[in-house]
Amino acid sequence: MMITDTHTHLYSELFDEDRESVIKSALDKGVSRFFIPAIDSSYTQSMLDLEKAHPGNIFLMMGLHPTYVKENYKEELGHVEAMLASRKFYAVGETGIDLYWDDTFLEEQKIAFVQQIQWAKKYGYPIVIHGRDSFDEIFEVLESEKGDDLYGIFHCFTGDYEQAKKAISYNMKLGIGGVVTFKNGKIDAFLNKIDLKHIVLETDSPYLAPMPYRGKRNESAHISYVLEKVASLYGMDVEEVASITTENSKEVFGI
């Protein structure tokens, strides 16, 4: 059984003490594909080192995370642009808009989001969207940029049914992670109304650990709990859900 974690921050400092054992544990559980989102330039070397250590399992994205859009965002975007021009990546991301903590740089976040969408189109890459308290703002940008060359994943989707349908209308898969296992996660109430062809699985590790690890450090091996929950919601075998969602990830990332 091949399982794909479409979003994991394996380069995080929270894995510095046991990164190799965390990866081995995931591999032992059948998780053989790890897609690694970027945050900002300070993590680029760690991402490259991770890829070098695990060729064939690690697939890198490049982008500027919306909560890292600050006064120096133009410099950070310059780094993203240079990296995209220098080598192969599998997506532009994570990018998007986050208004949960602070809306000080909302306009700059929009500018950075649009710019990264345009780079994704230029290189033929998907985008991986981070959105928190910002569905309206994100949909406004997607509406202005929509087209056959705009596609990707709405990472860590936590919206309602109507928002899910709208995201899908922009050629986005829904990234489903630990929140689907939460009692107050809400997406479990409607997820099985969405055709499984629109779903990919993720952990967002080390964040958003599923039950029974909620509140603790997440890791890619814990995607098995997400897989089991999704399978139960759809009334399907875990092997079939793993196969379909991995095929969906191949469709998005091109591998």
Q: Where are the alpha helices (DSSP H) in 124-222?
A: 135-145, 161-169
Tell the burial category of 88 from Cβ atoms under 10 Å away from its Cβ (0-12, 13-18, 19+): exposed
Task: Return mean pLDDT, the chain.
Answer: 97
Query: Which pLDDT does position 185 carry in this prediction?
Result: 86
CATH number of residue 178's parent domain:
3.20.20.140
Q: Of residues 102 and 114, which shows the higher confidence score?
A: 114
Q: If residue 47 lies in a helix (H) or strand (E), which one and from where to where?
A: helix 44-53
Domain containing 50 equals 3-253
Q: What angle do CA 153, 182, 18 make, to 5 degrees?
A: 75
45-83 pLDDT, tens digit each: 999 999 999 999 999 999 999 999 999 999 999 999 999
The candidate with the shortest Cα–Cα distance to 139, out of 186, 178, 100, 172, is 172
Average pLDDT over residues 199-221: 98
Half-sphere exposure of 239 (CA within 13 A, CB side): 1
What is the rounded end-to-end Cα distance, in angstroms, of the chain?
Answer: 17
Q: How many whole angstroms separate alpha carbon 187 and alpha carbon 101?
A: 22
Domain total for the chain?
A: 1
73-108 pLDDT, tens digit each: 999 999 999 999 999 999 999 999 999 988 999 999
